[in-house]
């Protein structure tokens, strides 16, 4: 059964910390300078370069979280509407990353079948970005097109997420901020290469480019250790979705989407481990399976599909689930945010990111390597138990880092002689 979720709507809800903007009442419209907390006179302007254009719930939510954190640190944040040259909203761009991408006949057939689905998927995330993100009015579609931005902002920030994943980006120069001339203030926040190391040539490019940064922050401890081993001064911070207090996300999430208990599946990859684990867990718990569908044609046996819910409904589905089974980093992160019980089934690639956050928060036991583990894994219902004190400390560290990055931009400028 497939459910097409209700149209997007603004949701009300309190926000618990006076140092953060409310998640509600944010004006719609790209380029609106009033999106987020109004910046005071003299607040530095920061251009954020991130993966907002990836049509995925985690990508848009980490964009929002980074914007909110920068605003809370005192910046006027604008997200550069840059899209990787291999990204797009039509079916053929989706096909570029698919196993069906070989041969002109297959490409044409795939495009005919999936074009409408691809456009619909894009609209869900475009709607959220338009309502929640302070995007530039101009679209940047190449590395060269970014060169003219240097004199428009006081500083540039890159992050979070896998902005330095060369296998996906193909060209990391935009995300190394290499389009900026020397002397322009720049920093990263919770950035990730996605892999333990970079290829040798890319490693050389990375060291040259990142040496020009005023401050470096990565998401995984392994990335910190790797870059530090290359001679870079780098700190590690949690993903921005974790760095914001839960009350913000509760205020953003919609009302309950379903009125019964359920096992929620959030799957991003071809992952036999996850599929087998869901089957075993459904039999063991008796919970009905609800699967968030990114594509109407993607199915899971015996699962109820909710196809392309709004981002606010996506949050509510995680918040209200009895158990989440996911191979998504942000699915795991948001399960901690809402204290929802979860099991993480790592994908064939980039599973190290999952292991990292689980180790940090004391929930490594929720990571499975074999479907048979779900037969003996202790299952608890009720709020998730994890290291809340550690996460609270990490939130403080993230805020302190961003304020320190902005501090030089607030210093009085010497008067001209």
- Per-residue pLDDT tens over the stretch 106-124: 555 545 555 666 667 789 9
Looking at residue 394, what is its pLDDT? 97
What's the pLDDT band for 353 if we cut at 50, 70, 90?
Answer: confident
Selection from 255, 243, 189, 238 nearest residue 217 by Cα: 189
How many C-beta atoms lie closer than 10 Å to residue 93's C-beta?
16
Q: The tokens of 64 are what?
A: 């929002």
Q: Say which range, 22-26, 85-89, 147-151, 188-192, has the weakest mean pLDDT.
A: 22-26
Res. 247: pLDDT tops 70? yes
What's the pLDDT band for 347 if we cut at 50, 70, 90?
Answer: confident
∠ CA 66-242-294, rounded to 5°:
80
Res. 34: pLDDT tops 70? no
Q: What is the pLDDT of residues 260-282, one digit of tens each?
A: 999 999 999 889 999 999 999 99
Q: Find the helix packing angle between 104-132 and 57-72, rounded to 10°.
A: 30
| Average pLDDT score over residue span 138-158 | 95
Three-state secondary-structure class, residue 196: coil
- Residue, of 193 and 116, whose pLDDT is higher: 193
Res. 11: pLDDT tops 80? no
Looking at residue 5, what is its pLDDT? 33
Q: What is the DSSP letter of 325?
A: E
- Residue, of 84 and 142, whose pLDDT is higher: 142
Provide the phi-psi class of 31: left if phi over 0, else alpha when psi is between -120 and 50, else beta: left
What's the pLDDT band for 389 if we cut at 50, 70, 90?
Answer: very high
Q: How far apart are CA 399 and CA 244, in angstroms?
A: 9
Q: Find the helix packing angle between 388-410 and 352-361, rounded to 10°.
A: 110
Residue listed under structure tokens 């981002």: 311
Cβ-based burial of 324 (10 A; exposed 0-12, middle 13-18, buried ≥19): buried
Selection from 253, 315, 318 nearest residue 13 by Cα: 253
Cβ-based burial of 56 (10 A; exposed 0-12, middle 13-18, buried ≥19): middle
Looking at residue 14, what is its pLDDT? 30
Determine if the pTM surpasses 0.75: yes
Q: What is the DSSP letter of 366?
A: G
Q: How far apart are CA 135 and CA 121, in angstroms?
A: 19
- Residue, of 32 and 414, whose pLDDT is higher: 414
* Residue percentage of the chain with pLDDT more than 70: 79
Q: What is the pLDDT of residues 35-59, one digit of tens each?
A: 345 456 579 999 999 999 998 999 9
């Amino acid at each position: 059964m497939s459910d097409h979720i209700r149209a997007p709507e603004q949701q009300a809800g309190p926000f618990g910390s006076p140092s953060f903007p409310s998640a509600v009442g944010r004006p719609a419209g790209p380029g609106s300078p009033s999106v987020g907390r109004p910046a005071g006179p003299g607040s530095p302007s920061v251009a954020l370069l991130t993966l907002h254009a990836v049509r995925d719930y985690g990508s848009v939510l980490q964009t929002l979280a980074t914007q909110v954190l920068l605003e809370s640190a005192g910046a006027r944040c604008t997200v550069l509407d840059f899209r990787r040259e291999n990204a797009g909203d039509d079916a053929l761009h989706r096909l570029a990353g698919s196993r069906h991408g070989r041969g002109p006949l297959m490409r044409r057939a795939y495009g005919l079948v999936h074009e409408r689905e691809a456009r619909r998927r894009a609209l869900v995330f475009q709607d959220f970005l338009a309502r929640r993100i302070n995007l530039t009015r101009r679209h940047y579609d190449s590395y060269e097109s970014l060169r003219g931005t240097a004199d428009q902002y006081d500083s540039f920030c890159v992050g979070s997420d896998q902005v330095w994943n060369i296998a996906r980006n193909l060209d990391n120069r935009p995300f190394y901020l290499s389009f900026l001339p020397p002397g322009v203030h720049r920093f990263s926040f919770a950035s990730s290469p996605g892999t333990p190391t970079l290829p040798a040539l890319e490693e050389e490019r990375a060291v040259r480019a990142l040496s020009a940064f005023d401050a470096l922050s990565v998401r995984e401890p392994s990335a910190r250790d790797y870059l530090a081993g290359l001679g870079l001064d780098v700190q590690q911070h949690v993903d921005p979705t974790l760095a914001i207090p839960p009350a913000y996300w509760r205020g953003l999430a919609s009302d309950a989407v379903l009125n019964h208990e359920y096992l929620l599946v959030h799957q991003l990859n071809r992952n036999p481990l996850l599929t087998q684990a869901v089957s075993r867990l459904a039999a063991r718990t008796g919970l009905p399976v609800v699967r968030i569908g990114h594509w109407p044609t993607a199915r899971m046996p015996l699962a109820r599909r909710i196809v392309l819910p709004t981002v606010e409904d996506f949050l509510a589905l995680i918040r209200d689930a009895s158990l989440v089974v996911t191979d998504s980093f942000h699915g795991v992160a948001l399960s901690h945010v809402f204290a929802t019980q979860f099991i993480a089934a790592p994908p064939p690639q980039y599973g190290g990111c999952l292991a990292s956050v689980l180790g940090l928060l004391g929930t490594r036991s929720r990571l499975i390597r074999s479907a048979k583990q779900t037969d003996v894994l202790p299952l608890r219902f009720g709020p998730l138990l994890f290291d809340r004190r550690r996460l609270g400390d990490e939130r403080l560290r993230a805020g302190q880092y961003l304020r320190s990055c902005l501090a030089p931009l607030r210093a009085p400028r010497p008067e001209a002689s």
